[in-house]
Amino acid sequence: MEAKTVSQSRTIKAMLVLPPDSNVLGTMFGGKVMSYIDDIASISAFRHARQQVVTASTDSVDFLHPIMLGQMICMESFVTWSHKTSMEVYVNIISEDLKTAERRACVSSFLTFVAIDEKGNTLPVPGVIPETDFEKDLFRTAPERYKQRLERRDHSRILSDRFTVKRI
pLDDT in tens, 121-145: 999 999 999 999 999 999 999 999 9
Side chain identity at 64, as an amino acid letter? L
Question: What does the pLDDT average to over 101-109?
Answer: 97
pLDDT at 165: 62
How is the chain split into domains, by residue range? 4-163
pLDDT in tens, 141-164: 999 999 999 998 888 888 888 777
What's the burial of 162, exposed, middle or buried (CB within 10 Å: 0-12/13-18/19+)? exposed
Distance CA 93, CA 30 (A): 12
Length of the chain (residues): 168
> Is the confidence at residue 168, as pLDDT, over 50?
no
pLDDT at 163: 78
Q: What is the CATH number of domain 4-163?
A: 3.10.129.10
Buried b (16+ CB within 10 A) or exposed e, 49-71: bebbbeebbbbebebeeebbeeb
From 64, 47, 67, 45, select the one nearest 56 (Cα to Cα): 45
Q: Give pTM, 2 decimals.
A: 0.91
From 17, 13, 15, 28, select the one nearest 70 (Cα to Cα): 17
